[in-house]
Amino acid sequence: MVWWLVVAHLFVIGGEALNFLCGRMVKDRKSWICARKIIDVSLQKKYHIGMSKFIEKTLEDGETIVFKGRLHWTFNCGNTLGGVLLAALGAAMLVIGLKRPEQLFVVFGTIGLALGVCVALWGYFIRSKTTFAITSHRFIQKDGILSIKMTEIPLFKIETVNLYQSIWQRMFGTGSIELVGSGGTNHRVDYIQEPFEVRKILTTRMKSVHDAQPD
């Protein structure tokens, strides 16, 4: 069973969101980050949400994966927090209904709890539907879970990597990157985790690819 992993993931995200909203930093922030990474990896392995196998199928001879990323938790924080609050309200009504007992409270409490869990889980899955990777030759983005769309851009065609980050995104550690290619074409990805690190990896790989191109 992986329900405990899902619940733990929701608590970690909720705790992290409340931490930022209160304007206080957790004393041991590394513990939160480590816990979230462990939970994310466990969930990905169990539900096969990770895209490693999908990316590996598209790799060319001699091509390797340099970096794999996903969307930031703020992308689905509305679903997560809303689902947690709805589930908590439903659980409270359910407890009250069982103690009195009140049939109406039991019915609405059960419905609220079920809907809250579904909303929170749906938020997690819509976040997981978009993932991306930087390989030694390309930038690859996968959208969708059942119906999949793949976008790939060869690194030698990328001329500039722009980064956009508002003050709120800076507080939460997220942002957007835009890949500007030859001919003025561009591709933008929003709600990226660690956007500066992603940009650094992209520009480093671009330089290596461009230097390897014949004059």
What is the predicted pLDDT for the residue at 37? 52
Is the model more confident about 90 or about 16? Answer: 90
| Closest residue by Cα to residue 155 from 204, 197, 115 | 204
How many Cβ atoms are within 10 Å of 138's Cβ, its own excluded?
Answer: 21
**115 located within any domain:** yes
- 185, two tokens: 């074409």
**1 located within any domain:** yes
Choose the final residue of a domain: 122, 139, 169: 122
Choose the final residue of a domain: 122, 146, 176: 122
What is the predicted pLDDT for the residue at 17? 46
Q: Average of pLDDT values for 5-22?
A: 47
**102 located within any domain:** yes
Parallel, antiparallel or unpaired: strands 138-143 and 149-154: antiparallel
d(CA 154, CA 114): 44
**22 located within any domain:** yes
Phi-psi region of 214 (alpha: psi -120 to 50; beta: other; left: phi over 0): beta
- Domain extent, residue 118, equals 83-122
Q: Tens digit of pLDDT for each residue in 17-32? A: 444 444 434 444 455 4
Percent share of the chain, pLDDT over 70? 75
**110 located within any domain:** yes
pTM metric for this prediction: 0.66
Q: Tens digit of pLDDT for each residue in 42-55? A: 544 443 444 557 77
- 9, two tokens: 């993931």
**How many independent structural domains does the chain possess?**
2
Q: Does residue 101 have a cis bond before it (omega within 30 degrees)?
A: yes
**H helices present in 22-102, as ranges:** 29-47, 52-58, 77-99
Longest Cα pair distance anywhere in the chain, in angstroms? 81
Q: Tens digit of pLDDT for each residue in 149-202? A: 889 999 999 999 999 999 999 999 999 999 998 777 889 999 998 999 999 999
